């Protein structure tokens, strides 16, 4: 009987704030977001140190897999957006002004100077279901896929958020049979190689873990002594993320497909 690794992520507030590259609301959350949540969990468990070999191996194995099936609750994005003034992650500029003895609280020395307006639009989840990301387990690629899945399941228990920090989440991973996958509640989002779909979603590919680690290091080094006041880390869009996976919506047998307007 075929087996699958299933990563379940529950959003505690039943809302989601993530957006696609072009700014549209993203639903369901992309496989790349789920993968980044696992990487963040791994980094937190490592307390800033290097990832253990078993953890790195499991994450590298997962990034090589095809885009997963996503089973997600029905959701709706509000048509009403709001704008909020948020910090622009530029306190290093303020700190440099303070270090030069500028305590005027004006210009670069004022945190209020470095704020930006952000447009926010929520996606609301209906019902109580979780998000499920399902990868079929290859029989020949990995000598012991169960070991990698056990490591990923450990990481899943340390997931704190999915995407934005306000989207607090809990995670769980386990190996399920095809029959168990069929019984998961929610809409099915199936990856399609070509053709129109409901959403363009990012998915990890070989090299994504290394790119995420390198980007995090560049982020930490942005305060290093240098003639440049602020070194902006490389954009994630330039990292090893696959071309968007095309997804189409379907439902399990016996569950009617809700109409959308």
Rounded to the nearest integer, the mean pLDDT of the chain is 80
Answer for the pair 108, 97: CB distance below 8 angstroms, yes or no: yes
Q: How many helices (H) and strands (E) does the chain have?
A: 6, 12
Phi, psi of 48 (to 5 degrees): 85, -10
Between CA 137 and CA 5 the distance in angstroms is 6
CA distances from 168 to 84, 109, 129, 201 (A): 19, 33, 15, 21
| The predicted structure's pLDDT at residue 113 | 81
Give 192-230 pLDDT, tens digit per residue.
765 444 557 888 888 899 989 888 887 777 666 654 555
What is the DSSP-derived secondary structure letter of residue 244? Answer: P
Interacting residues of 87 by C-beta distance below 8 A, sequence separation 6+: 111, 114, 115
> Residue 172's Cα: distance from chain center in Å?
15
pTM of the model: 0.79
Answer for the pair 114, 3: CB distance below 8 angstroms, yes or no: no
Q: How confident is the model at residue 6 (pLDDT cuts 50, 70, 90)?
A: very high
| The predicted structure's pLDDT at residue 258 | 38
Give 137-183 pLDDT, tens digit per residue.
876 455 567 889 999 999 999 999 998 889 999 999 999 999 999 99
Answer for the pair 219, 213: CB distance below 8 angstroms, yes or no: no
Between CA 61 and CA 63 the distance in angstroms is 6
């Amino acid at each position: 009987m075929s087996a699958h690794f299933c990563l379940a992520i529950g959003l505690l507030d039943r809302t989601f704030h993530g957006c696609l590259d072009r700014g549209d609301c993203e639903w369901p959350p992309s496989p790349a977001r789920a993968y980044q949540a696992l990487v963040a969990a791994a980094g937190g468990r490592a307390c800033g140190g290097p990832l253990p070999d078993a953890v790195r191996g499991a994450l590298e194995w997962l990034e090589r897999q095809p885009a997963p099936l996503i089973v997600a609750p029905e959701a709706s994005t509000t048509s009403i957006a709001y704008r909020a003034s948020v910090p622009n992650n530029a306190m290093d500029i303020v700190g440099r002004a303070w270090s030069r003895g500028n305590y005027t609280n004006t210009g670069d020395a004022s945190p209020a100077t470095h704020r930006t307006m952000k447009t926010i639009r929520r996606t609301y989840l209906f019902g109580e279901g979780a998000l499920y990301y399902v990868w079929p387990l290859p029989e020949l690629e990995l000598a012991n896929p169960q070991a990698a899945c056990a490591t990923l399941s450990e990481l899943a228990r340390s997931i704190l958020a999915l995407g934005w920090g306000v989207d607090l989440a809990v995670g769980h991973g386990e190996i399920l049979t095809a029959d168990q996958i069929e019984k998961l509640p929610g809409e099915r989002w199936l990856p399609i190689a070509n053709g129109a779909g409901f959403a363009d979603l990012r998915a990890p590919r070989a090299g994504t873990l290394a790119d995420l680690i390198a980007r995090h290091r560049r982020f930490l080094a942005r305060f290093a002594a240098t003639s440049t006041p602020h070194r902006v880390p490389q954009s994630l869009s330039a990292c090893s993320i696959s071309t968007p996976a095309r997804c189409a919506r379907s439902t399990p047998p016996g569950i009617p497909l809700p109409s959308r307007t």
